[in-house]
Amino acid sequence: MNAAAIDGLLAALKQLPDNVRLRINVAKLLVQAGRHAEAIDHLNMVLAIDADNAEAIELLIDASGALSTHGPVGAGSPESTGVRHTPAAKDFDWQRAEQELGHRLPAPFIEGDPDGDLQAISVSGEGGAGALFDIDQPVVTLADVGGLEDVKNRLNESFLEPMRNPEVAKAFGKSLRGGLLLYGPPGCGKTFMARAVAGELGASFMTATMTDIFDKYMGETEKNLHEIFQAARRAAPAVLFLDEIDAIAAKRSTLSGGAAWMRQTVNQLLLELDSMGAQNDGLFVLAATNHPWDIDSALLRPGRLDRMLLVLPPDRPAREAILKHHFSSRPIAGIDVKKIAARTENFSGADLEHVVTSAAEKAMMESLRKGSVQAISMSHVNEALKDIRPSTQTWLQTARNVVEFGNSNGSYDELGQYLHARKML
């Protein structure tokens, strides 16, 4: 983990102490770095502001469990030396191990030579040792996304078909560049959807997060943002994915006092998006957020992120596909994914993965008691579902308030239709 990146975010947090999104991301990075006690402190601050924040609660549970299992990080501790002691089977944190082995993704900026088939482009300027920006060539396409047909159709209309048929698109005045904002509750596949768009286009895929952009020194944040866009332009056709954009593009009218310096970051982002119109055919900017109502409205004007696409909790076909995927690598017996999907309305993709992981843990504990491998059964799933609730509920409640009181321009009509259909509005 890049300690300088963490320091940069901590410096930003000093100026924005009540920014819940920023503090949660700092906590995530601290957990990844093994600094669990510090992460717990930040998560407690989040819960003091938002006591029902499901993401903070889940992360706090994980950090507390890791701290009790591995102890604090310090000189000579297992984490600080890179060596961990293996606990007894009954104390082993299987969920943590699975996350570390099966779900760890490479950071967009890495030191040294890149591994695998990634193309590396320097963004550090001439003569700088600098970092490398990794450009991926995704193999996933929209066919790999279960369900969500309305979302796929809108992506085809706004992005994919014009790129596949450039002459026809130009005849109708359709630009071969653009920006799209994906929004919706956390854990519902916005990042995966963005990768699928890049895979459909055969384009390079680049991800930028707060860690890559924020810097504690004045002017460096704007420089990092410019360099990221420059790398994307050189790699065109490319999809540049800006994750959690609300953290770097907050409404400038709300930035005052110690946070006023962030206005320049928003201005720089607007400048980069505007420059696309003059010189960058083949560059698409996809941004994702859980809180579109917190984004500066200037970003949503024509020529910038001028289209908003709602990515909702997976529908029943999508839930079945997600469950099948997560069960596929585990021993199962008598699992009925249709019944599970019917019982998991409003569950996010991350929630469904949590259900399967919890059921697997229960089957594992039964296996240890009986001394032989016991396949995951519906009884294990039923036990898991007793303890798991959809994490999207808090987001949907907030969204309902936005639709009722903050939708004068019709931006959230699609969201309103979804809430009406479920009698939540």
Residue 40 is predicted with a pLDDT of: 84
- Provide, rounded to the nearest whole percent, the portion of the chain with pLDDT above 90: 20
Tens of pLDDT along 29-67? 888 888 888 888 888 888 778 777 778 777 877 777 676
Looking at the fold, whether 32 and 67 belong to one and the same domain comes out as yes
Looking at the fold, whether 206 and 286 belong to one and the same domain comes out as yes
Looking at the fold, whether 165 and 189 belong to one and the same domain comes out as yes
Phi/psi at 240 (nearest 5 deg)?
-100, 120
401 falls within a domain: no
What CATH number does residue 209 fall under? 3.40.50.300
Q: Which of 310, 344, 372 is the last residue of a domain?
A: 310
Residue 147 is predicted with a pLDDT of: 67
Looking at the fold, whether 37 and 174 belong to one and the same domain comes out as no
The stretch 217-235 carries a mean pLDDT of: 85
How many domains are contained in the chain?
Answer: 3
Of 62-66, 68-72, 111-115, the least confident: 111-115
392 falls within a domain: no
Tens of pLDDT along 365-377? 999 999 888 999 9
Looking at the fold, whether 330 and 297 belong to one and the same domain comes out as no
Instruction: State the DSSP string of 192-261.
Output: HHHHHHHHHHT-EEEEE-HHHH--SSTTHHHHHHHHHHHHHHHT-SEEEEETTGGGTSB-GGG--GGGTT
Please return the burial class of 57, using the count of CB atoms within 10 Å of its CB with bins 0-12, 13-18 and 19+: middle
Residue 246 is predicted with a pLDDT of: 86
| pLDDT at 230 > cutoff 80 | yes
- pTM for the model stands at 0.67
Looking at the fold, whether 221 and 268 belong to one and the same domain comes out as yes
What CATH number does residue 69 fall under? 1.25.40.10
Q: Which of 310, 326, 352 is the last residue of a domain?
A: 310
Q: Which two tokens stand for residue 183?
A: 């929004």
Residue 400 is predicted with a pLDDT of: 92
Looking at the fold, whether 70 and 116 belong to one and the same domain comes out as no
Q: Which of 292, 310, 328 is the last residue of a domain?
A: 310
Residue 257 is predicted with a pLDDT of: 62
| Dihedral over alpha carbons 260, 265, 266, 269 (to 10 degrees) | 170
Instruction: State the DSSP string of 74-119.
Output: -TTSHHHHT--PPPPGGG--HHHHHHHHHS----SEESSSPPTT-E
* Residue-number span of the structural domain to which 189 is assigned: 109-310
First to last CA, the chain: 44
Of 64-68, 183-187, 275-279, 404-408, the least confident: 275-279
| pLDDT at 203 > cutoff 90 | no
pLDDT-derived band at 243, boundaries 50, 70, 90: confident
20 falls within a domain: yes
Residue 276 is predicted with a pLDDT of: 54
Looking at the fold, whether 304 and 194 belong to one and the same domain comes out as yes
Residue 104 is predicted with a pLDDT of: 35
| pLDDT at 202 > cutoff 50 | yes
Q: What is the CA radius of gyration of the chain?
A: 22
Residue with tokens 């707060």, as numbered in its chain: 210
Helix (H) or strand (E) holding 20: helix 20-32
Looking at the fold, whether 304 and 343 belong to one and the same domain comes out as no
What CATH number does residue 335 fall under? 1.10.8.60
Q: Distance (Å, rounded) from C-alpha 337 to C-alpha 323? A: 7
411 falls within a domain: no
Q: Distance (Å, rounded) from C-alpha 307 to C-alpha 132? A: 31
Q: Distance (Å, rounded) from C-alpha 417 to C-alpha 150? A: 13
The stretch 159-186 carries a mean pLDDT of: 76
The stretch 259-285 carries a mean pLDDT of: 75
Q: Which of 328, 304, 326 is nearest to 249 (CA)?
A: 304
Looking at the fold, whether 98 and 133 belong to one and the same domain comes out as no
118 falls within a domain: yes
Looking at the fold, whether 256 and 175 belong to one and the same domain comes out as yes
Q: Which two tokens stand for residue 76?
A: 């000579």
pLDDT-derived band at 120, boundaries 50, 70, 90: very low
28 falls within a domain: yes
Q: Which of 337, 307, 336 is nearest to 320 (CA)?
A: 337
248 falls within a domain: yes
Separation in Å, CA 322 to CA 338, 344, 350, 420:
11, 12, 9, 26
Of 54-58, 172-176, 297-301, the least confident: 172-176
Single-letter amino acid code for the residue at 13: L
Looking at the fold, whether 166 and 251 belong to one and the same domain comes out as yes
422 falls within a domain: no
Separation in Å, CA 11 to CA 15, 36, 117, 258, 321:
7, 19, 34, 11, 42
Q: Which residue has the higher pLDDT, 217 or 33?
A: 33
Dihedral sign computed on CA atoms, order 101, 99, 22, 251: positive
Of 127-136, 315-324, 338-347, 408-417, the least confident: 127-136
Q: Which of 77, 88, 40 is nearest to 62 (CA)?
A: 40
Q: Which residue has the higher pLDDT, 372 or 150?
A: 372
| pLDDT at 121 > cutoff 70 | no
Q: Which residue has the higher pLDDT, 292 or 37?
A: 292
